[in-house]
């Protein structure tokens, strides 16, 4: 058990790193930098899970996101290798301000909901998160988590495995190199013309 | 000791930054990454609510965490499918610019 002020300190540091990292993810022009900052954000989210007494989930987050998904992203970035010259031109001021306006609207709606929710107020008046509620030491560990997953949520687990299977088959099918998806040179020229228009 | 609203504000902030990335960027790769960011923001809120309701929730002590595990699996499938679609698009049109893929425009 960490002392409360140490927990608070860790939380503040992690939150600041997460905010800075996420802003860098969406503003970097080169996707490789975005991917690397996204790994930082995933690390902070994992630390957040551990602060919330979910150590198993924190490690799963590192394993699945930072381990598997980001490797997939980096692999695709290297495969298509967009050079500086043919990185897409980013949108103008109008597009950016539209997107900024929408995201600001969403944030203010969520912030309004959080600050005016009686339930959140009741829970936060009762004390900070580590004290409320006192959970048994086994909370979030593999044993308790696994028992509950396989006893009460077995159907969800099985459906997830079907989903992953469909994902694998779909990805392999889509990414397979076939004759029919390869362009003839005429089609390629035509495509280039339409892209220019 | 940290409070529930602080975590919820962080989650809301990450979610809206992800929204900005999805709307503003033209690079499909970065749009997919922003989607992952949004999923992660929701995961934080789920785990936090699961934690404060750990002993009173009908879905059991780890309900929120199991939900998050489900979201994790969905995110993995989404990344695999999205990236293979991106690969197909790259092979066919040699571009990852969303605004160039507008041939369905009326």
The string of pLDDT tens digits covering residues A35-72 is: 999 999 999 999 999 988 889 999 999 999 888 899 99
Q: Which residue has the higher pLDDT, A166 or B59?
A: A166
Chain-chain contact of A111 with B9 (C-beta, under 8 angstroms): yes
Q: How far is B3 from chain A (nearest CA, A)?
A: 5
Give CA torsion, residues B28, B34, B38, B43, to 10 deg. 100
CB atoms within 10 A of CB A113: 12
Has domain B4-100 been given CATH number 1.10.287.3510? yes
Please, which pLDDT band fits residue A1 given cuts at 50, 70 and 90? low
Assess contact for B51 and A129: CB atoms under 8 A: yes
pTM: 0.86
Considering only alpha carbons, which residue of chain B is nearest residue A100? Answer: B20
- Report d(CA A27, CA B47) in Å as an integer: 28
* pLDDT tens track for B32-70: 999 999 999 999 999 998 888 877 777 778 888 999 999
Query: Residue A107 — pLDDT band, cuts 50, 70, 90?
Result: very high
Average pLDDT over all residues of chain A: 83
Mean pLDDT of A124-131: 69
Q: In chain A, which among 29-88 make CB contacts under 8 A with chain B? A: 31, 34-35, 38, 41-42, 45, 48-49, 51-54, 56-57, 60-61, 64-65, 68-69, 72-73, 76-77, 79-80, 82, 86-88
Where are chain B's structural domains?
Answer: 4-100
Residue B97 phi, psi dihedral angles, 5° rounding: -90, 120
Question: pLDDT by residue (tens digit) across B81-93?
Answer: 999 999 988 888 8
Angle between helix B28-52 and A4-27 (nearest 10):
160
For A12-76, give the DSSP string: HHHHHHHHHHHHHHHH-SSHHHHHHHHHHHHHHHHHHHHHTT-HHHHHHHIIIIIIIIHHHHHHH
User: Is A102 within 8 Å of B19 when comparing Cβ atoms?
Assistant: yes
For residues A127 and B40, the answer to whether their CB atoms sit within 8 Å is no
For the residues A157-178, what does the mean pLDDT come to? 90
For the cut 50, the answer to whether the pLDDT of residue A167 exceeds it is yes
- Nearest CB partner across the interface for A174, out of B24, B60, B84: B84
Cβ neighbourhood burial of A37 (10 Å; 0-12, 13-18, 19+): buried
Q: Rounded to 5 degrees, what angle do the CA atoms B34, B35, B39 make? A: 115
Domains and CATH numbers, chain A: 4-83+110-196 (1.20.120.1200)
Share of chain A above pLDDT 70, in %: 82
The pLDDT of residue B9 is above 60: yes
Nearest CA in chain B to A16: B10
Residue whose pair of structure tokens reads 């997919």 in the numeric block: B32
| Among A80, A111, A174, beta carbon nearest to B12 | A111
Nearest to B45 by CA among A128, A23, A4, A120: A120
Q: What is the pLDDT of residue B99?
A: 80
Q: How big is chain B, counted in residues?
A: 106
Q: Which residue of A has its CA nearest to B16?
A: A103
The residue of chain A with its CA nearest to that of B90 is: A80
Instruction: Look at the block and give the residue holding tokens 């944030």.
Output: A107
The confidence score (pLDDT) of residue A183 equals: 52
ipTM: 0.91
Integer Cα distance of A18 and A37 in angstroms = 9
Checking if the pLDDT of A179 tops 90, the result is: no
Q: Which residue has the higher pLDDT, A3 or A157?
A: A157
Min Cα–Cα distance to chain B from A153, Å: 8
Q: Is A81 helix (H, G, I), strand (E, B) or coil?
A: coil
Whether A193 shows a pLDDT value over 50: the answer reads no
CB A145 within 8 A of CB B65: yes
* Structure tokens that stand for B10 in this block: 């962080």
């Amino acid at each position: 058990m960490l002392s409360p002020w140490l927990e608070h300190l860790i939380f503040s540091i992690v939150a600041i790193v997460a905010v800075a990292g996420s802003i860098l993810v969406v503003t970097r022009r080169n996707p490789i930098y975005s991917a690397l900052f996204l790994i930082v954000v995933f690390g902070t989210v994992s630390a957040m899970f551990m602060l919330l007494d979910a150590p198993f989930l924190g490690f799963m987050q590192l394993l699945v996101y930072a381990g598997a998904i980001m490797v997939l992203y980096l692999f695709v970035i290297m495969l298509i290798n967009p050079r500086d010259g043919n990185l897409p031109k980013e949108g103008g001021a109008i597009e950016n301000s539209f997107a900024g306006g929408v995201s600001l609207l969403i944030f203010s709606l969520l912030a309004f909901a959080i600050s005016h929710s009686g339930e959140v107020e009741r829970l936060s008046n009762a004390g900070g998160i580590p004290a409320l509620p006192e959970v048994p030491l086994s909370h979030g560990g593999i044993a308790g988590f696994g028992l509950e997953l396989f006893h009460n949520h077995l159907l969800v687990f099985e459906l997830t495995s079907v989903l992953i299977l469909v994902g694998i088959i779909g990805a392999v099918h889509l990414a397979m190199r076939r004759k029919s998806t390869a362009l003839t040179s005429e089609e390629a020229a035509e495509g280039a013309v339409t892209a220019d228009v | 000791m940290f409070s529930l609203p602080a975590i919820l504000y962080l989650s809301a902030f990450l979610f809206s930054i992800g929204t900005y990335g999805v709307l503003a960027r033209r690079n499909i790769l970065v749009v997919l990454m922003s989607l992952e960011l949004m999923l992660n923001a929701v995961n934080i809120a789920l785990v936090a609510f699961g934690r404060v309701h750990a002993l009173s929730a009908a879905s059991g002590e780890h309900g929120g965490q199991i939900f998050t595990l489900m979201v994790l699996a969905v995110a993995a499938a989404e990344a695999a499918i999205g990236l293979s679609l991106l690969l197909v698009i790259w092979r066919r049109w040699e571009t990852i610019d969303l605004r160039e893929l507008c041939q369905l425009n009326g």
